[in-house]
């Protein structure tokens, strides 16, 4: 009985924390060579859908724009897009939501890792070719570090 009551609270907390506008400005200003300045907009477009749009600094159109369906089971929150074969599973661990997923499309390996708190979002989103060469994302020891903003 406790899990049934807990899940809507878990889902509501995830949505409240995930949805909003994010920027890695602090990271870039502290270390200009660490990453590009990126704006992220997560918006809830329906009760079970979230749109995620990513913009390079000052760009009017996003370089990535995808809408995910949102569902939960047990202790997990799932963001998935069947059309693009993408899924991210977030679990509540030590006061934050953690996600780690890997999947292959053609000869490319996509690796996604994230840690989400109320006003903090740390992301590693990488793509590797068949030989293991990094095609997109920051190097293995670096992450994008976002804070919630209003812009």
Q: What is the CATH number of the domain that holds 79?
A: 2.40.128.590
Domain count, the chain: 1
What is the span of the domain harbouring residue 122? Answer: 2-149
Secondary element (H or E) of residue 10: helix 2-18
Walk along the chain (151 residues) and give the pLDDT tens digit of each residue: 344 444 578 889 999 999 999 999 999 999 998 899 999 999 999 999 999 999 998 899 999 999 999 998 878 999 999 888 889 999 999 999 999 999 888 899 999 999 999 999 999 999 999 999 999 888 867 899 999 998 6
Cut 0.85: pTM above it: yes
Helices H / strands E in the chain, number of each: 2, 11
Q: What whole-number distance in Å separates Cα of residue 18 and Cα of residue 38?
A: 16
pLDDT digits (tens, 9 = 90+) for 94-114: 999 999 999 888 899 999 999
């Amino acid at each position: 009985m406790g899990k049934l009551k807990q899940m809507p609270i878990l889902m509501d907390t995830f949505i409240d924390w995930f949805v909003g506008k994010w920027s890695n400005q602090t990271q870039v200003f502290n270390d200009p060579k660490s990453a590009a300045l990126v704006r992220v907009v997560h918006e809830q477009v329906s009760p079970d859908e979230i749109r995620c749009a990513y913009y390079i600094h000052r760009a009017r159109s996003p370089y990535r724009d995808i809408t995910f369906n949102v569902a939960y089971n047990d202790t997990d929150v799932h963001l998935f897009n069947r059309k693009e074969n993408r899924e991210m599973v977030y679990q509540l661990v030590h006061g934050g939501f953690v996600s780690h997923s890997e999947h292959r499309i053609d000869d490319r390996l996509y690796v996604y890792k994230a840690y989400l708190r109320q006003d903090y979002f740390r992301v590693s989103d990488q793509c590797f070719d068949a030989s293991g060469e990094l095609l997109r994302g920051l190097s293995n020891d670096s992450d994008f570090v976002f804070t919630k903003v209003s812009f």
